[in-house]
Amino acid sequence: MLIYTDDKNLDDNVLEIAKKLNASLVNKTPSDAYLQYDSDGLSLITDPINIKSKIHVDFLKGKVSWRIKRFQHESSLKKALGKNKEGITIFDATAGFLSDTMIFLSLGHKVIAVEKNKIVFHLVSDAIRRASTKLEFINKLDFRCADSFNLYQSLKKQCDIVYLDPMYPITKKNQKKSGLIEAIKFLQRKENLVEDGEDLIGKFMMDDFKKIIIKRPLKSPKKYSNINYQVKGSTTRFDIYL
Ligand SMILES: C[S@@+](CC[C@H](N)C(=O)[O-])C[C@H]1O[C@@H](n2cnc3c(N)ncnc32)[C@H](O)[C@@H]1O
């Protein structure tokens, strides 16, 4: 993947991103998908001839910012977390673009969030960098690029809740396109990453945990009989295991 930037935006941050992604910096727009670094920070352009294909993570504007501002209205997520006297530590094993983690942080919890796709990780890390002076709760976030199940082996003792939201299996009904989810699928193809959400859920379910919350499509079948409770929203539900 190439990173397009110009001389006036070339800084230590983009040099570091290029190094970590093993990507080359160019000053002409590439003809295939590329990363762009400008005064707004890092973005992904999935299709150079379609200006709408730009993916930019921003916690200070748009849908996630709106969710953060009204975090107390996130009743399903709050019910899924349950009543917790003090801030707990949540292990978000499928961090993605961090929308759910932002709500956990807004609610006062600590979060260890793990994303295995390197490009998703850098798009989100750059958004964290830009938001860190405005959103104080970000100092309770530990964001890592790794396979979450492997990382969990060394961190499980400090985790009160494991949160799992792997990509839903594709069915005719849930084909509604979300830009960010489409971008993750695009990047998984680019990095030859296969996502098997059921396999990941299965591995966590067999491991030690205090509480697991699994986000699934509302009508998907219950997979494990030892379910403790469910919280249902309009299109999704949370299955909770203790
Ligand atoms: C549906 S998205 C999660 C969306 C997220 N809950 C949000 O609010 O933005 C699933 C993400 O999990 C990541 N993922 C899947 N398996 C993983 C694993 N074993 N370790 C870390 N990340 C994983 C995928 O790369 C993808 O970005």
Q: Which atom of ligand 1 is nearest to the CA of 97?
A: 9
The SS3 of residue 240 is strand
Q: Is 101 exposed, middle or buried (0-12, 13-18, 19+ CB in 10 A)?
A: buried
| Model confidence at 47: pLDDT above 80 | yes
- Judged by average pLDDT, the poorest of 67-71, 85-89, 145-149 is 85-89
Pair (78, 179) in one structural domain: yes
Q: What is the mean pLDDT of residues 225-233?
A: 90
Helix-strand-coil percent breakdown of the chain, rounded to 5?
A: 40, 20, 40
For residue 99, give the ligand 1 atom closest to its CA. Answer: 8
Same domain for 71 and 41?
no
Question: What is the average per-residue pLDDT within 9-20?
Answer: 96
Q: Which residue has the tokens 């009989």?
A: 225
Same domain, 51 and 106: no
40 and 19 in a common domain: yes
Question: Do 103 and 125 share a structural domain?
Answer: yes
Residue 15, domain CATH? 3.40.1630.10
What single-letter amino acid sits at 15?
L
Alpha helices per DSSP H over the chain: 12-21, 62-69, 75-81, 99-106, 118-131, 148-155, 179-190, 197-206
Q: Domain range spanning residue 16?
A: 2-55
The tokens describing 19, both together, are 């190094």
Q: How close is the Cα of 143 to the center of ligand 1, in Å?
A: 12
- pLDDT, residue 177, reads 59
- For residue 89, the SS3 value is strand
Do residues 140 and 128 make contact, with C-beta atoms less than 8 angstroms apart? no
Pair (78, 49) in one structural domain: no
Distance CA 4, CA 30 (A): 7
100 lines ligand 1 (CB under 6 A): yes
pLDDT tens-digit profile of 89-115? 999 999 999 999 999 999 999 999 999
How confident is the model over 139-192, as pLDDT tens digits? Answer: 999 999 999 999 999 999 999 999 999 987 665 555 555 667 777 778 778 777
Q: Which atom of ligand 1 is closest in space to residue 167's alpha carbon?
A: 1
> Token digits for 91?
């292990």
Question: 203 and 152 share a domain?
Answer: yes
Put the strands of the sheet holding 229-232 in their side by side order: 141-145, 110-115, 89-92, 161-164, 212-217, 236-241, 229-232
Round the CA-based radius of gyration of the chain to a whole number and report it: 18
- The mean of the pLDDT values for the chain is 91
The helix (run of H) or strand (run of E) holding residue 164 is strand 161-164
Instruction: Return the bridge partners of 3, or none.
Output: 25, 35
Report whether residue 99 contacts ligand 1, using a CB cutoff of 6 Å. yes
Q: Report residue 126: phi and psi, to 5°.
A: -70, -35
Claim to verify: residue 40 and residue 77 sit in the same structural domain: no
* Residue 8 CA, ligand 1 centroid: distance in Å: 34
Give, as one character, the DSSP assignment of residue 106: H
Tally of domains in the chain: 2
CB 197 within 8 A of CB 166: yes
C-alpha 7 to ligand 1 mean position (Å): 34
CATH number at residue 87: 3.40.50.150
Is ligand 1 within 6 A of the CB of residue 184? yes
3-state secondary structure of 189: helix
